[in-house]
Amino acid sequence: MASERLRSLRRVTFLAAGVFAAASVLPSPVIKSGPTANPAAQHCAAGFAAPVPAGCAANGATGPSSGEPRPPAFGAYLSSGPLGVLRIRGFSDWLDHTEVRVGHTYLPGDKWSNIEGTPGFLGNWAQWRRAKDDRILVVNVPLTERDEGHVPDTEVQQVLRRGAAGEFDQHFRTLAEHLVGLGVPDTVLVLGWEMNGVTYTHRCGPDPDAWKTYWRRIVTVMRSVPGQHFAFDFAPDRGADAVPWPQCYPGDDVVDVIGMDSYDQPAGISFDQQVSEPYGLQDQVDFAKAHKKPISYPEWGLFRNGDNATYMLRMLAWIDEHKPLYNTITDYCPHGVWLCPANPRASALYRAALSGRRGPDQDPNPPVPAAPEPANEPHPLPNPLPARASG
């Protein structure tokens, strides 16, 4: 493991040598001309509790023709609605036409009808996913409405207990039926993400036992829909946060992936600390290995330490070493690399590391969206408190 870590770090460090000098002259992706400014528009791993989604090639599995291990599947959060689908082509162009295999969206958590994943919201994402067999569609799913409504703990506890008793089953059955009907039955579902924090109504802390029972019930209901092959991703915030995330773990039979949201925060933290802190990156890897699950990084990026090229270098090396099922950087300011001009050094390093990774076939164009961006489009919300040692 130590030798592989050194090899991963050396590979990315080699890229860094010329990157920092070039950072000042690389064009901003936000103002890039040409195709990027006007875009037309695998996941194999042992330990899945449910059938593995199709088109696998991650975690060291060999590619379809080269016989060499494919790089870990990656993408970026680029927007939740149709604009996010359109931007995938621009993101790929910026990376010298690298194959972007992961699309990532969030269901709005304002009301149950949106959590059910209407075909109007998910249709463009489903069309993108179906265009190539080895693509991965990742959908974050809130566990309750008013998910960012600053609901007090006492009310959260009541909601979790109602969910555990089955009151909300039909909403998740409807979501599963929508996904299967759209032809994306192998979607990766990040249920109740960052449950160990305090940001969301779907947090675990007010009643961990009810939370775990509720998760188990949701998975059971969604797996009961004929034709589904979903993968369920348990993705806490990095670090201790409000409650140690293992206390929220609902069980191996209802979890397929051990994810983690890991931003460069709090201010002053080193990457080594992010690895070694309680419930940090190393604990995630060890926990996943003990439970025979692949890992993922649904959200990661820059944050409290600005344009931190060292963080970018180390995180890319970490991903290269541990080969998650997928990873998606959060690509808006202050976290991102393509859509955020505030991080030129880290952006140049990310671009150099991932450019030119083409797949076996030419990417088909993403579909042109049929609907405008919804007004209540959800976005990832990392913990905003810089003093907390969490992801």
Average confidence (pLDDT) over 354-379: 55
- Per-residue buried b or exposed e for 76-101, using 16+ beta carbons within 10 Å of the residue's own CB: bbbbbbbbbbbbbbbbbbbbebbbbb
299 is catalytic: yes
SS3 26: coil
Task: Report yes or no: 370 and 83 within 8 Å, Cβ to Cβ.
Answer: no
Give domain limits for the chain: 2-26+58-354
Q: List pLDDT tens digits, range 41-97.
A: 333 444 456 554 443 434 333 343 445 667 789 999 999 999 999 999 999 999 999
Q: Tell me the average pLDDT of the chain.
A: 84
| Residue from 116, 145, 299, 321 carrying the catalytic annotation | 299
Position 67 scores a pLDDT of: 55
194 is catalytic: yes
Whether 213 has a pLDDT exceeding 70, the answer reads yes
Average confidence (pLDDT) over 188-213: 98
Position 369 scores a pLDDT of: 40
Residue percentage of the chain with pLDDT more than 90 = 72
| Residue from 194, 321, 373, 377 carrying the catalytic annotation | 194
User: Measured between alpha carbons, how far is residue 143 from residues 29, 136, 172, 279, 280 in Å?
Assistant: 35, 22, 9, 23, 24
For residues 217 and 22, the model is more confident at 217
- For the segment(s) 2-26+58-354, the CATH number from 3.20.20.80, 1.10.10.1150, 3.30.300.180, 3.40.50.1820 is 3.20.20.80
Amino acid at 5: R
Average confidence (pLDDT) over 203-224: 99
For residues 16 and 262, the model is more confident at 262
Whether 287 has a pLDDT exceeding 80, the answer reads yes
Average confidence (pLDDT) over 362-373: 42
Q: List pLDDT tens digits, range 304-349.
A: 999 999 999 999 999 999 999 999 999 999 999 999 999 999 999 9
Whether 388 has a pLDDT exceeding 60, the answer reads no
Instruction: State the pLDDT confidence band at 242, using cuts at 50, 70 and 90.
Output: very high
